[in-house]
Amino acid sequence: MKDVQYQATVPIAPPAVVPTGKESGPDVEAGVFLIDKPVGPTSFQIVRQVRKALGIKKVGHAGTLDPFASGLLILCAGRPATRIIDQLMGGDKTYEATLRLGIETDTQDLEGEVVAEQPVRELSRAEVEACLAGFVGEGVQTPPRYSALKHKGKPLYYYARKGIEVVKPPRPIIIRELLLLALGADWLTIRVHCGKGTYVRTLGADIGNALGCGAHLIALRRLQSGPFSVTKALPGDRLADREQAQELLARHRLTVDEALAALGEAKAG
């Protein structure tokens, strides 16, 4: 696999395609764009900025990131590119995540309401590393209530916000690597290399429970998706200005064939 840097949905949500207007003239070509999403905007806001800059009818993302998360966001512009979104979403993902220990929230991240607090005892690095090792390999994970996973055509967060309890059955996941990067008195930072469909905030909550103090996610950054790395991504905070966005997108465009070739090389490797 080329350009893979195993450095560490919110898990990955179903593909989102935002249609609008008509396709622009022949000078606008379909393509795949790697964006380094900053903390703050939603994935859909980034989609809208790219759609506005390119004037293309269909723009979609290959896996959402929550507003508090940053990192690699793969966008597909134009019908030929949006048709391969499912293929782009199928690879492993690498994240860096920071957990706040001792506090649990209803969303398993910093955007939710606190539902439990516990004191955090002193934890050694060896103890935490042993805990993390227990999560490596194949396992199952129950999708969080606040997620974009669909139930009867609506995302789970739709029901959660209305106080309707919907519990999806546990799904198989795989954690290929889980490393401790830093440890504080009430926080830790990890790098996660995982398969498709893994919810990092649910993993964080499970780690907190295993440590006996609970936890929630306070920072998340996606570094890798399949063969695509955030090191090759254009800065998402420079897309607000339409002319600047057009120039950046033109310089960072991958053709559909190039994106498919990268996927093929990753599978072959």
Q: Kindly list the structural domains of the chain, giving each domain's residue range(s) and its CATH number in brackets, ordered by start.
A: 16-90+227-268 (3.30.70.580), 93-225 (3.30.2350.10)
86 catalytic per annotation:
no
- What residues does 37 pair with on adjacent strands? 71
- Of 58, 183, 200, the closest CA to residue 123 belongs to 183
Contact 58, 82 (CB under 8 A): yes
Which value, in Å, is the radius of gyration of the alpha carbons in the chain? 19
Asked if the model's pLDDT at residue 1 lies above 90, the reply is: no
Q: What pLDDT is attached to residue 234?
A: 96
- Provide the 8-state DSSP code for 108: S
User: Tens digit of pLDDT for each residue in 49-105?
Assistant: 999 999 987 999 999 999 999 999 999 999 999 999 999 999 999 999 999 999 999
The tally of CA atoms less than 13 A away on the side-chain side of residue 209 is 10
Angle, helices 242-251 vs 43-54, to 10°: value is 90
The pTM of the full predicted model, rounded to 2 decimals, is 0.84
Q: Which of the residues 3, 27, 66, 92 is marked catalytic? A: 66
Cα–Cα distance, 74 to 62 (Å, whole number): 5
Cα dist. 86→13, 63, 264 in Å? 11, 9, 14
pLDDT of 257 reads 94
